[in-house]
């Protein structure tokens, strides 16, 4: 293999990250371009597709300039999964904003589908919620005249970026992103006519579905092929070395995800999501996963709205200093797995005259771990026993959170040494497609990190029980008119 590198791009809700990875597995360069906050109005959460595309192009350009002519052998793209838009397939011009995965404007329509939720779950492996693209596509079709224009294509953000980066004449979408539209049969991995009809989307133009590891075309700016496109959480699991059946991973980002590799077995389970991990033209690997809708968002809420701390490194120290048994049920953007309550409120319990910001910060961090515990229990109830977990994402630097998570899951957690796991995973898949390394090589490249062993934690166990009660009380109060 010629001495060169592979580039991994991770396009997320708040930023675009790009890294260059040498053929020896060493990170040569990393950069990040921040995005403006999304526009929020009631249930709507929107981003500007042109701003997102510009952030990708700028981060890629910076990386190429720093590499100073070093050959780029291939590129992998990781992207937020259920965020979607409408664009002109012939020109690549966007015809709508990006409707964020956090956008829940389709919630009322789901009431009409409640009787079909079991059918939808059986077909897709996904619970019926407004977070996926299907209800967003329906809104675009019903509300934008451009949706009926010749050449208008409905797709995920990953599909739009893939077409724009390569300049391809048609839209493609990989298995991991297509499966998150809630319009794909998880077994055949093809668009499902019955699902399209249920969501009132008959006849819309959709991208062609292809494997995750695939030759998507050449990126002219880099003079290199785009060899992989994958959902951000699946990319993170590759970057963390969650590659064998029974491996578990936790990613603490804007949202949070707990996943377990189920190998070649598709294992749908109530309240959870059966997902494609990655695919090639010959093989498919699956995951079972659960999501926490507000992780980084929850802490930014405490910092930006209430000023409880100034910088994120303060969070860990505040958690260790907390004294009062405050519990926080933080449901910004609703709850994810296994509860799926898109419009539930948030609540605090246990505040006294002596309570301090540290108590509220710890309660919020513990609430994240409590949501993850609920997901872990649902996975075990499905008959899947994870061997161990590896954790990454910005909040994995909070030692209090990782120790508590190990305590609650009663499992060893390895904190990964990998930074930007999604971009790293995308680059690894590009190298895999090009033959730069094998899966065995990737396991070695992702094996570094420190182990945190779970311990008995009576205080957290007590607060978890109170948190469960607070959850139930909050749901009850929301029903009071």
Query: What is the predicted pLDDT for the residue at 447?
Result: 80
What is the rounded CA–CA span in Å between residue 82 and residue 84?
Answer: 6
User: How far is the C-alpha of 393 from the C-alpha of 253, rounded, in Å?
Assistant: 5
pLDDT of residue 2: 57
- Does 443 score more than 90 pLDDT? no
Would you say residue 17 has pLDDT above 80?
A: yes
Say if residues 451 and 260 touch (Cβ distance below 8 Å): no
Contact 258, 373 (CB under 8 A): no
For the segment(s) 242-417+448-481, the CATH number from 3.40.1000.10, 3.90.1150.10, 1.50.10.20, 3.30.420.40 is 3.30.420.40
SS3 437: coil
Task: For residues 89 and 396, give the distance between their C-alpha atoms in angstroms, rounded to a whole number.
Answer: 40
Asked if the domains at 5-232 and 242-417+448-481 fall in one CATH topology, the answer is yes
Distance CA 195, CA 200 (A): 9
| Per-residue buried b or exposed e for 255-264, using 16+ beta carbons within 10 Å of the residue's own CB | bbbbbbbbbe
Q: Report pLDDT digits (tens) over 96-124.
A: 999 999 899 999 899 899 999 999 999 99
Residues 167 and 175: their CA atoms lie apart, in Å, by 21
Residue-wise pLDDT for 237-269, tens only, equals 999 999 999 999 999 988 899 999 999 999 989
DSSP state of 241: T
Half-sphere exposure of 130 (CA within 13 A, CB side): 25
pLDDT tens figures, 351-394: 999 999 999 999 999 999 999 999 999 999 999 999 889 998 88
Q: Where are the domains of the chain?
A: 5-232, 242-417+448-481
Burial 321-357 (b: 16+ CB within 10 A, else e): ebebbbbbbbbebbbbbbbbbbebebbbbbeeeebbb
The conformational region for residue 25 under phi > 0 = left, psi -120 to 50 = alpha, else beta, is: left
pLDDT for position 1: 47
C-alpha closest to that of 388 among 374, 368, 406: 406
CA distance 229 to 176: 9
Query: Average pLDDT for residues 440-468, to the nearest whole number?
Result: 92
Across the chain, which distance is largest between two alpha carbons, in Å? 67
> Would you list the DSSP string of 427-445?
HHHHHHHHTS--HHHHHHH
Give per-residue pLDDT as tens, 28-41. 999 999 999 999 99
SS (H, E, C) 93-141: CECCCEECCCCCCCHHHHHHHHHHHHHHHHHHCCCCCCCCHHHHHHHHH
Name every residue whose Cβ is closer than 8 Å to that of residue 282 and which is 6 or more positions away in sequence: none
What is residue 76's predicted lDDT score, i.e. its pLDDT?
98
pLDDT tens digits, one per residue of 39-91: 999 899 999 999 999 999 999 999 999 998 899 999 999 999 999 999 999 99
Domain 5-232 has CATH 3.30.420.40: yes
Residue with tokens 């260059």: 20
Give the separation between CA 174 and CA 429, rounded to whole angstroms: 13
The encoded tokens of residue 457 equal 């934690």
Strands 224-231 and 72-79 turn out to be parallel
Query: Which DSSP string do the residues of 285-303 spell out, in sequence order?
Result: EEEEEEEES-SHHHHHHHH
- pLDDT tens digit sequence for 186-218: 999 999 999 999 999 999 999 999 999 999 999
Torsion of CA 288, 49, 18, 34, to 10 degrees: -100
Query: Worst-scoring range by mean pLDDT, 241-250, 301-310, 319-328, 413-422?
Result: 413-422
pLDDT for residue 263: 95
pLDDT confidence bin for 471, thresholds 50/70/90: very high
Cα separation, 468 vs 130, in Å, equals 24
């Amino acid at each position: 293999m010629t001495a060169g590198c592979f580039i991994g791009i991770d396009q997320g809700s708040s930023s675009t990250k790009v890294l260059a990875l040498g053929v020896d597995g060493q990170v040569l360069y990393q950069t990040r371009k921040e995005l403006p906050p999304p526009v929020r109005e009631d249930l709507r959460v929107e981003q500007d597709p042109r701003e997102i595309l510009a952030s990708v192009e700028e981060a890629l350009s910076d990386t190429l300039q720093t590499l100073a002519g070093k050959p780029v052998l291939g590129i992998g793209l990781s992207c937020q999964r259920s965020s979607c838009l409408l664009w002109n397939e012939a020109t690549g011009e966007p015809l709508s904003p990006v409707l964020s995965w956090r956008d829940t404007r389709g919630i009322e329509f789901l009431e009409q589908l409640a009787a079909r939720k079991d059918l939808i779950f059986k077909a897709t492996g996904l619970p019926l919620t407004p977070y996926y693209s299907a209800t967003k596509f329906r809104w675009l079709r019903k509300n934008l005249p451009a949706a009926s224009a010749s050449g208008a294509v409905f797709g995920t953000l990953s599909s739009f970026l893939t077409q724009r980066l390569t300049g391809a004449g048609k839209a493609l979408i990989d298995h991991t992103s297509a499966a998150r539209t809630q319009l794909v049969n998880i077994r055949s991995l093809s668009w499902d006519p019955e699902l399209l009809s249920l969501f009132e989307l008959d006849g819309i133009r959709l991208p062609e579905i292809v494997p995750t590891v695939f030759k998507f075309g050449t990126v002219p700016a880099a003079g290199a092929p785009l060899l992989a496109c994958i959902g951000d959480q699946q990319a993170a699991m590759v970057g963390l070395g969650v590659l064998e059946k029974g491996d578990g991973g936790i990613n603490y980002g804007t949202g949070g995800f707990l996943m377990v590799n189920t190998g070649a077995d598709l294992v749908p389970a109530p309240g959870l999501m059966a997902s494609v991990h990655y695919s090639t033209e010959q093989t498919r690997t699956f995951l079972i996963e659960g999501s926490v809708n507000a992780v980084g968002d929850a802490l930014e809420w405490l910092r930006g709205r209430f000023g409880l701390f100034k910088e994120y490194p303060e969070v860990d120290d505040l958690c260790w200093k907390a004294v009062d048994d405050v519990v926080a049920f933080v449901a910004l953007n609703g709850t994810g797995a296994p509860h799926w309550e898109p419009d539930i409120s948030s609540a605090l319990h246990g505040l006294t005259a002596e309570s301090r910001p540290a108590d509220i910060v710890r309660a919020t961090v513990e609430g994240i771990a409590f949501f993850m515990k609920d997901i872990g229990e649902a996975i075990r109830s499905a008959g899947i026993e994870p061997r161990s977990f590896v954790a990454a994402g910005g909040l994995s630097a909070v030692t209090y959170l990782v120790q508590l998570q190990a305590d609650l899951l009663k499992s060893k957690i390895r904190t990964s040494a990998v930074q930007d796991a999604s971009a790293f995973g995308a680059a690894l898949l590009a190298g895999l497609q090009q033959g730069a390394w094998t899966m065995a090589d990737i396991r070695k490249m992702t094996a570094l990190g420190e182990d945190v062993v779970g311990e008995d934690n009576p205080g957290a166990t007590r607060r978890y029980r109170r948190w469960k009660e607070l959850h139930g009380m909050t749901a009850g109060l929301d029903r009071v008119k």
